[in-house]
Structure 1
Amino acid sequence: MTEFQKIKHTFAFTNKNTKAWGVLALCVTLHAGKVAASPNNTKITINNHEISKNMLQKEQPIHSSEDYLKGIDVSHYQGKVDWHKVASTGVHFAFVKATQGIHTIDKQYHHNWHQTKKAGIKRGVYHYFDPSLDAQQQAKHFLSTTQHDFGELPPVIDIEAFENVSAKQVIDELKLFLSHVSETTMCKPIIYTSPGFWSQLNDHEFGEYALWLAEYSVKPRIPDGWSSWLFWQYSSKGKVHGINSPVDLSYFSSSTQALEALSCSKQ
């Protein structure tokens, strides 16, 4: 198999004297032909962005949510979003639903995709995965719709329902989807899931993919196979200026520079 860009990240909490301390380390192995950083280098290149290794580490106390970059994700359920108003609230990034299954294109996808760019918000795109349908057909539908334009963030596969199939079939189909997208685009997708759903799969083999965690609790649980989250969707009931219905809210676990370095779209 071709060697793709790999992002491994760890996020550990320890409690000492009632203070929570967070440590984030993003260790990056780049696709052959890009640039691979040696242990002695002080800088690494990720998708044509040269940044200091220190930008990928936060070894400081985490006192509140203000330590994280904030973002949202949207679909047709949010109606027609006024993205310039959203940008005025300080939202750093947005994930936009593109597709579902093998035929569905989200009704607001094109509006959201173009308007987020105009508003200057960093964009990602996601596919809602149906494990009862052919995984490769879903991947082709997703890539055909997006035209391999993933914006400024890696593509996402949203996996959160069995759709009346077994755990084994979910895992097998998920692997096929991820492999197809990775091999076709040279870009590893992010997996969006919740610990409650993932625990039913009883699987820990997907840790090579970055995790977007859906967990609405003060202290998020990490699903088997991962040691950390890259994005954390912490609420489904957010209120954001420019959006007339509740919206999902998420955190990014590191700096603005690290967020920018995640892009794997052709610029």
Structure 2
Amino acid sequence: MRTRRALWTAAAGVMLVAVLGLLVANGIVWPNRILAARYDVRGVDVAHYQGAIDWDVLAAQDLDFAWIKATEGSSHTDERFAENWADATETDLLVGAYHFMSFESPGADQAAHLASEVPATAGTLPPVIDLEFYGGFHEDRPTADEAHAILDPLVAGIEEHYGAAPIVYATEDAYDLYLAGRYPDLPVWIRSVAWAPRLSDGRDWTVWQYSNRDRLRGYDGVEPYIDMNVFVGDRAELEALTLD
């Protein structure tokens, strides 16, 4: 009898874990939502994967800001950037653009490409540099010196053109390898979708991407999920970061 009861208990435990895993995988349950709920200012980041976006519908869902993918490397422009930018800036959202940093082209060229596609518009959020591994660089990671040789002129070019320091978005492993202990004047946007972020060098984060599997109304693309983020301060403090 005890053996049978133990087996049933174990089976129930396995079933509970499986159900919880399924709910998390489908974006129904997300532990970080509880931790992120303490922050009042929240927003999304989007790219062409979200397809056509009805920005009035999206903005009405208790959002304060949106960063939109604009460019990647020294020549690629997101196919929906112009449309997203025009429509998003007509809402009450604070809007900014982000650039996906390539490890395969010079930072100065990447900064020039971003400047050619994203207007330096007063009242918009500063550009973001998306620093993460992709493709074969997940396994064959550039050294810190190699990454800094690209990142340094990219940051400098953005500061010169937009008159403001960029925000740097990073995964935790990219942060540890390339940002920890460096670039003290750059605000950090950290990706941590499994637990609350704690930067390895004790630095404070400015924006936290707490989920990459939320669902909101207002978009129809190949990607059913949308990234959710919170800002560490209040909306007035976020507005203070906008371009002059």
Interval containing the TM-score (normalised by the shorter chain): 0.7 to 0.9
Name the counterpart of 2:67: 95
After TM superposition, the structure 1 stretch with the greater mean CA deviation from structure 2, 66-75 or 135-144, is 66-75
In the alignment, structure 1 residue 257 sits paired with structure 2 residue 229: no
Q: Compared with structure 1, are the counterparts of its residues 84 and 186 closer, same or farther at alpha carbon in structure 2 (3 Å cutoff)?
A: same
In the alignment, structure 1 residue 204 sits paired with structure 2 residue 181: yes
Report which of the two structures shows the higher radius of gyration computed on alpha carbons.
2
Higher relative contact order (CA 8 A, sep 6+): 2
Poorly superposed stretches of 4+, deviation over 4 Å: none
TM-score scaled by length of structure 1: 0.71
Name the counterpart of 1:214: 191
Query: Partners in 1 of 2:61 and 2:46 — Cα distance?
Result: 16
Query: Partners in 2 of 1:123 and 1:105 — Cα distance?
Result: 17
Contact 2:39 2:230 in 1 (8 A): no
Query: Partners in 1 of 2:82 and 2:182 — Cα distance?
Result: 34
After TM superposition, the structure 1 stretch with the greater mean CA deviation from structure 2, 97-106 or 112-121, is 112-121
Name the counterpart of 1:169: 146
Query: How far did 1:219 drift?
Result: 2.0
Query: How far did 1:168 drift?
Result: 1.3
For residues 123-134 of structure 1, the aligned pairs below 5 Å read 123-134=95-106
Name the counterpart of 1:71: 43
Contact 2:39 2:231 in 1 (8 A): no
Q: Deviations over 1:138-172 (max 9, x none)?
A: 00000011132375211111110274533311012
Query: Partners in 2 of 1:157 and 1:117 — Cα distance?
Result: 20
Candidates 84, 89, 92, aligned match of 1:112: 84
For residues 1-267 of structure 1, the aligned pairs below 5 Å read 65-149=37-121, 152-161=124-133, 163=137, 164=140, 165-201=142-178, 203-224=180-201, 227-244=203-220, 245-265=224-244
Q: Compared with structure 1, are the counterparts of its residues 118 and 198 closer, same or farther at alpha carbon in structure 2 (3 Å cutoff)?
A: same
The SS at the match of 1:182 is helix
> How many aligned positions are there?
203
TM-score scaled by length of structure 2: 0.77
Q: Compared with structure 1, are the counterparts of its residues 101 and 63 closer, same or farther at alpha carbon in structure 2 (3 Å cutoff)?
A: closer
Contact 2:36 2:230 in 1 (8 A): no
Query: Partners in 2 of 1:98 and 1:263 — Cα distance?
Result: 17
Name the counterpart of 2:14: none
Query: Partners in 2 of 1:178 and 1:228 — Cα distance?
Result: 20
Structure with higher helix content: 2
Query: Partners in 1 of 2:196 and 2:160 — Cα distance?
Result: 35
Q: Compared with structure 1, are the counterparts of its residues 77 and 188 closer, same or farther at alpha carbon in structure 2 (3 Å cutoff)?
A: same
Contact 1:134 1:173 in 2 (8 A): yes
Which runs of no fewer than 5 residues in structure 2 stay unpaired? 1-33
The SS at the match of 1:99 is strand
The SS at the match of 2:53 is coil
Structure with higher strand content: 1
Give the letter aligned to residue 173 of structure 2: G
Which runs of no fewer than 5 residues in structure 1 stay unpaired? 1-61
